[in-house]
Amino acid sequence: IALAPINDPALVMPTIAETLGTSANTDWASGASSAPPSYSGTPTPFPAEPTGPITSALAGFCVDDANAGTANGTAIQLYPCNGTNAQTWTVAPDNTLQVLTDCMDVTGGATTAGTKVQLHTCNGTGAQQWTAANGEITNPQSGLCLTDPGASTSKGTQLVIDPCDGDAGQRWTLP
């Protein structure tokens, strides 16, 4: 294919007759002029990852890492809110929920209703992925919701994944 030159003046790019200097203009740094408009003089920090308790719709209860454990398999449970590190969750950009540097995890990566939720070293698997919408926290790999079975108000009840039905045992507020 041969290309013909474009002779239509409306389609030809104009020539820029400006010349760029060979050194940066730093007059603003010596106070001779104001700072460049792109810099306010104060750096903007990156937004912080949300951190705090995951609260239940059942008044006074939070998602808790049992006994502030750090071993794989430690139960993730419902417990009265107490402000401890075991209830200080981070909503990480990779869709994990983290406490004490480990992740909320569906035991064995299972996708069946009633599977217990535990603490596990963060590993990026689908068992550790969570999304939140309409007050529910869902594990996308299973399509099931984080659940306090029976909407119990018994402290120490281990959380599970179950079909999402919107009852009080599946209603959570993230930090």
Residues ≥6 apart with Cβ < 8 Å to 93:
49
Check pLDDT > 90 for residue 81: yes
Higher pLDDT, 89 or 16: 89
Separation between Cα atoms, residue 38 and residue 29, nearest integer Å: 14
Question: Is residue 25 very low, low, confident or very high in pLDDT (cuts 50, 70, 90)?
Answer: low
Check pLDDT > 60 for residue 29: no
CA 45 vs CA 42, 48, 49, 122, 154: distances in Å: 9, 8, 12, 26, 41
pLDDT in tens, 87-145: 999 999 999 999 999 999 999 999 999 999 999 999 999 999 999 999 999 999 999 99
- Would you state the pLDDT for residue 3? 47
Mean per-residue pLDDT, 59-82: 97
